[in-house]
Amino acid sequence: MRNTLFSCDVHGWPGKQQNAQVKDLCGIVRLKKPPLWILGGDTDDPWKAVWEEVLACETHQMLQAVVQERAQEGLETIVLTDNHDHAAKPEYWPGARLMRWYGEDNWEFRHGWEFDPIWHNFGGVPFWLSMHWPGLAVPIYHAFSQTPNQIKDQNGDKWKAGVDVINFNAKAYSARHNVNLLCGHTHYPKTDPYGGTWFGNAGDWEDSFSWIEIMSDVPSLHKLGE
């Protein structure tokens, strides 16, 4: 596996409150210049604002600038698209490859919603709504949705139980397919050798400000400020 930097769940939109930290992420990528940078899903958040507003926001513009710089330097960037930004189009990320998931050697990179029973069973309805009626989907989302961090703050047991189920499903997939699996989605950073393979979650850029680096086939978890 090439040396890789894997970051997830930026959730960029015009109301983003953590742009200073996202700027730090851009600085880390510029400094390290990993051969492969994978943005692991929910990078943009067109459920918090319509795509036109999301693409024009500071968060997207900062990340896109790094993507284009890397392309000019011959460095590869992959943007995974899933539950929040599943409707992203290639022209939204010039210089990057858009994929649902990515595999290289015995590693797989996924967003992680695939292992979430709620999203897996009911994701089709909100996906359709956000693609066909974004003007309606955005206010519905703001009215009813809770982020993982909001759930954690209000009901830690419920949040932990949900994370445990997702992690169990992800680890089972990793063992069944004998692949090292890195994902995001839960906003819960960790790395864990599991049954002869690695499982890891890169966390997010709303609360944990964390990412995973793979060096010499070994993943390591890093957090901003540590």
What are the tens digits of pLDDT across the range 191-225? 988 667 899 999 999 999 999 999 999 999 999 99
Is the pLDDT at 70 greater than 90? The verdict is yes
Q: What is the per-residue pLDDT for 90?
A: 97
CATH superfamily of 4-223: Metallo-dependent phosphatases (3.60.21.10)
What are the tens digits of pLDDT across the range 151-173? 777 777 777 888 999 999 999 99
Q: What is the per-residue pLDDT for 128?
A: 79
What phi and psi values does residue 95 have, to the nearest 5 degrees? Answer: 100, -10
Q: Counting Cβ atoms within 10 Å, is residue 75 exposed (0-12), middle (13-18) or buried (19+)? A: middle
Taking the model in full, what pTM does it have?
A: 0.93
Show the DSSP H helices in 6-97 as ranges. Answer: 19-32, 51-56, 58-72
Between 127 and 186, residue with greater pLDDT:
186
Question: Domain map of the chain by residue range?
Answer: 4-223
Most confident range (mean pLDDT) of 25-29, 123-127, 131-135 is 25-29
